[in-house]
Amino acid sequence: MKTPLVEMDGDEMTRILWKMIKDELLLPFIDLKTEYYDLGLKHRNETDDKVTTESAQAAKKYGVAVKCATITPNAERVAEYKLKEMWKSPNGTIRAILDGTVFRTPIVVKGIEPCVRNWERPITLARHAYGDVYKNTEIRVNKPGKAELLFTAKDGTQTRELIHEFTGPGILQGIHNTEASIRSFAKSCFNYALDTRQDLWFGTKDTISKKYDHCFKDIFQAVFEAECREAFEKAGITYFYTLIDDAVARVMKSKGGFIWACKNYDGDVMSDMISSAFGSLAMMTSVLVSPDGVYEYEAAHGTVQRHYYKYLAGEETSTNSVATIFAWTGALRKRGELDKLPSLCEFADKLEKATIGTIESGRMTKDLALISSLQNVTVLNSEEFIREIRSTLEASLS
Ligand code: NAP
Ligand code: MG
């Protein structure tokens, strides 16, 4: 390796898996270079959460990061870890600094078939993570009256629109978005489509929302025409815009193998639909891509707290490490591409193949055994599973 990966360590069971993956699957095979940041809750607390900001800045500097799942503190965690404060979600902090879009992709293996029979390839979901109903203002109306939308510009001029004349009780909601955020979202989506050579789909309700949703449609089209059309043609991929309801219908009938960009709410709802239909959250990878091309890879699941407490009690665990392994391979492959190190990309490919091969040969963790259609499945514990992947990998390398 030439440039180090920014390594963001995390919490609980995924922290245990993190070390096992490094010891068994990475360090024996590659000259791993990382710049290490400990985002474990204890260390975040000791550093007043500065370590999270520093790790995001390092990601900006080097371009590629790999992150372990981390605890987002709530009241219980404040007591459990004797925290000075209820620190913010590390993912939220990192996303705010990198200003990116999160892409989630299921890892498809034989024996775990998607509920939708015609899905042959993974569907990657890209969710816009700013504004709309997630940053709304609401009023509950309890008497008759006039509701208006009012914008007062810096220069004092006002724009006013009637929302509704209430004759009785009702409800009101104000939402917004910014052109800058929508443009970043569009750029991240187009770049990621080019990067992974997949078509990009996008849908909104622009026929009903003629200004709000239409603005999303127009910005995507403008970015595409100005910066991406040629590159898309060269790569042999397409950008496809349709109404959100038409998109949903087509997704269900598709074979998969594309990126589906969604507005914030659509993405929230549809990502749960996609991940559960493909099988398991433990088989879902996640990458944050910033508009200027910084990549942060992680698993989509959390720290698997329940398994960690069993582990602490000395009991056996069978925690699935696939999504965390794929976070590492995603980051290593990207580093390899940027630094022109084909052997590093090849190693990432081989480790992914070994992981999938191990599962397809019937050796897997309990969560997968429960949903696998394979006969003769062997349920392995957390360590055994990683060691089996190692032996598959060694066989493929020799
Ligand atoms: P979780 O860690 O995703 O686990 C929820 C349940 O899903 C587990 O109890 C387990 O079910 C199953 N599961 C998830 N990942 C698995 C894996 N790799 N292998 C096997 N089973 C798996 O969610 P959580 O328990 O709600 O959250 C725990 C902590 O994670 C919280 O503190 C939360 O803040 C944090 N979190 C972090 C991130 C992130 O860093 N990106 C994302 C989400 C949550 P069974 O117990 O039935 O086996
Ligand atoms: Mg959701």
What are the tokens at 119? 């899905």
Helix axes 382-397, 342-360, angle to 10 degrees: 120
The fold adopted by the segment(s) 1-108+287-398 is Isopropylmalate Dehydrogenase (3.40.718)
The Å distance, Cα 87 to ligand 2 centre, comes to: 22
DSSP structural state of residue 55: H
Name the H helices within 294-381. Answer: 305-312, 322-338, 342-360, 366-369
3 state DSSP class of 361: coil
Q: For ligand 1, atom 5, which residue shows the shortest CA distance?
A: 304
Q: What are phi and psi for residue 388, nearest 5 degrees?
A: -65, -40
Instruction: Supply the pLDDT for residue 27.
Output: 98
Instruction: Supply the pLDDT for residue 254.
Output: 97
CA angle 320, 322, 324 (to 5 degrees): 100
Q: Which residues does a 6 A CB cutoff place in the pocket of ligand 1? A: 69-72, 91, 281-282, 298, 301-306, 319-320, 367
Residue pLDDT, tens place only, 41-83? 999 999 999 999 999 999 999 999 999 999 999 999 999 999 9
DSSP structural state of residue 73: -
Residue pLDDT, tens place only, 367-378? 999 999 999 999
**Across the strands, what pairs with 365?**
none
The Å distance, Cα 169 to ligand 1 centre, comes to: 41
- Consecutive 10-residue averages of pLDDT for the chain (398 residues): 98 98 98 98 98 98 98 95 94 87 92 92 93 90 97 97 97 96 95 95 97 98 97 97 97 97 93 87 90 92 96 97 98 97 98 98 95 94 98 94
Instruction: Supply the pLDDT for residue 106.
Output: 93
Q: For 259, how many CA atoms within 13 A lie in the half-sphere containing its CB?
A: 27
CA 150, chain centre distance (Å)? 36
181 contacts 134 by C-beta, under 8 angstroms: no
Instruction: Supply the pLDDT for residue 367.
Output: 93
What are the tokens at 368? 């997968």
The closest of 327, 326, 336 to 2, measured between CA atoms, is 336
Alpha-carbon distance of 366 to 241, in angstroms, equals 40
Instruction: Supply the pLDDT for residue 68.
Output: 98
Instruction: Supply the pLDDT for residue 168.
Output: 96
Q: For ligand 1, atom 45, which residue shows the shortest CA distance?
A: 306
The closest of 357, 363, 353 to 383, measured between CA atoms, is 363
Q: What are phi and psi for residue 367, nearest 5 degrees?
A: -60, -35
Q: For ligand 1, atom 43, which residue shows the shortest CA distance?
A: 302
286 contacts 331 by C-beta, under 8 angstroms: no
Instruction: Supply the pLDDT for residue 74.
Output: 93
Q: For ligand 1, atom 26, which residue shows the shortest CA distance?
A: 302
3 state DSSP class of 367: helix
114 contacts 276 by C-beta, under 8 angstroms: no
The Å distance, Cα 108 to ligand 2 centre, comes to: 21
Ligand with an atom nearest the CA of residue 307: 1
- Which one of 68, 304, 318, 372 would you pick to mutate in the ligand 1 pocket, going by the greatest count of ligand atoms within 8 A of its CB? 304
Instruction: Supply the pLDDT for residue 50.
Output: 98
- Which one of 9, 68, 297, 303 would you pick to mutate in the ligand 1 pocket, going by the greatest count of ligand atoms within 8 A of its CB? 303
Residue pLDDT, tens place only, 154-196? 999 999 999 999 999 999 999 999 999 999 999 999 999 999 9
Ligand 1: nearest atom to the Cα of 319: 19
- Which one of 12, 301, 319, 372 would you pick to mutate in the ligand 1 pocket, going by the greatest count of ligand atoms within 8 A of its CB? 301
DSSP structural state of residue 23: I
Ligand with an atom nearest the CA of residue 94: 1
In this prediction the pTM is 0.90
Instruction: Supply the pLDDT for residue 23.
Output: 98
The Å distance, Cα 151 to ligand 1 centre, comes to: 43
3 state DSSP class of 336: helix
DSSP structural state of residue 84: S
Q: For ligand 1, atom 46, which residue shows the shortest CA distance?
A: 306
What are the tokens at 337? 């591409």
DSSP structural state of residue 291: T
Instruction: Supply the pLDDT for residue 205.
Output: 97
